[in-house]
A and B are shown apart, each in its own frame.
Chain A
Amino acid sequence: MKTTVVICAIAAALALQTTLARFAVGSQSMVDLVLVAVVYAALAFGPVVGLFAGTVGGLAQDALSAQIIGVGGLSKTLVGFVSGVVGTQFIVSGPIPRFVVFLGASFVHALCFRGIHAMLPVVAADSGLPAPRGAGLALGAVFWQALGNAAIGLLVFQAVEGLPGLLQRRRMRYRR
């Protein structure tokens, strides 16, 4: 059941991400919905599910993206697992702790993702091909992306947790 939920969430996030990306081509501050799905899965189901979600989501994202496959997979696997561990070690059931986790996860992901990219010219130089330019760590863009990710993650949590209660209250009101 968990696996199905996670895969569906990642597929939905990917579909939405590619659709929205059409209107913000190349924008580095655009929200990463797959990362949001991975961190959500990690906080909701624990580190193992977070790891699984990070691997699947990252690899799928890499496969659909014009970049080396594995960079996003690695970054998201790390973030998914660490977020899951944080979720089990600390109480992160409130909105503020969750916001902080999403924010931190986004920063760690950006650091990891861009760090790996920065190391890629060394690999490329061995192959004899011209070295690609490593993606610089544009802090402003990373900050806005992290803020967007955290806000959306929080909204997703509120929606998933609040919706059943809301429906139940409405049903009760109709019964009266």
Chain B
Amino acid sequence: MLDIRQRTGYLFLAVMVGHVILISAQVQTRGGARVLESVTFSLFAGVQRGTSALVDGWQGFWSGYVALRGLHAENEALKQRVSELEVRVQQERAVAQRSQKLQQLLDLKSQTTLPTLAADVIAGDATPGIPSVWIDKGDREGVRPDMAVIAPAGIIGRVLGPLAPHAARVQLIIGQNAGAGAMIERSRAGGVVIGTAGDPPLLMEYVSNLSDVQIGDVVVTAGNDGIYPKGFPIGRVESAEKGAGLYKTIKVRPVVDFSNVEEVLVVLSPPPELPSPTAGNRRR
């Protein structure tokens, strides 16, 4: 049991503290805060720093170690999301490129007065080394054998028979048995362009040694073979040498990238009747 003197001392101490608290509750510090609040904040600030450090430490420990599993899952989800977005970007890019190609086709269609039909390339030839492709338009859409097939860059080839109701085979101009009446656009020197197995895959034959042919000249269709309309680009002269006989040896690089043909136009006007099938493209 406490001594009365001790009790009084404690009581005194308590009353004094009560007073200080009461006073401090009414007095403001220089900073504008009340002394009671200031002292309380000061006292508790240390406690708060301690508890805060503890909580922060725990939080750091949790998020840095314990919560790594969640982080891993989140990381995986984000990776998947990134992959999906990359795929979507690729798809958008492909759509944009396709739109650009279709726009080129539309431009070509508006430039030419010929009746044409747009078609997609759906397959290549079943036998390796035979340059032909399948398109998704056939007999039902009005496609007929020997119709010319063109692309925005230049001529592709001609339709071969027989036709399926909704598909047709196209012999490419680079084929070994293919050919077209052609001329040099600049000098109008005429000849026949034929496909070869070499590199470049086109040769221009029957051009006189006296004709003016230079490297880089554009070779266009002459329109005299009964298949291809006049004036469409075939390729560019890669080399032109004087031949041993009457004619030059001219190698032509096609303007169309045949490994990347996706959309084409079929020229729907039927080829005019010719007296004999000796034109370049009736070689097969």
Contact = CB atoms under 8 A, between A and B. Distances in A.
12 contacts: A19-B123, A21-B126, A22-B122, A24-B259, A25-B124, A30-B129, A31-B128, A61-B126, A67-B127, A129-B282, A133-B176, A133-B194
B106 to A, nearest CB: 23
A23 interface: yes
A65 B125 contact: yes
Nearest to B279: A130
B177 to A, nearest CB: 4
Contacts of A23: 124, 259
Interface of B: 121-134, 160, 169, 171-172, 174-177, 194, 196-197, 201, 258-259, 261, 277-278, 282-284
A131 B278 CA distance: 11
Given A24-B259, A65-B127, A66-B125, 5 more contacts: A14-B126, A22-B122, A62-B126, A67-B127, A132-B176
A129 B176 CA distance: 15
A18 interface: yes
Interface of A: 14, 17-32, 34, 60-62, 64-67, 72, 129-133, 135-136, 138, 141, 145
Contacts of A31: 128
B171 A66 contact: yes
Given A24-B259, A26-B131, A66-B132, A136 B197 contact: yes
A26 B129 CA distance: 4
A129 B283 contact: yes
A123 B160 CA distance: 20
Contacts, number: 98
B129 A135 contact: yes
A26 B174 CA distance: 8
B278 A25 contact: no
Given A24-B259, A26-B175, A132-B284, A17 B197 contact: no
Given A66-B160, A132-B283, A61 B127 contact: yes
B127 A25 contact: no
Contacts of B258: 25-26
Nearest to A32: B128
B124 A18 contact: yes
Contacts of B283: 129-132
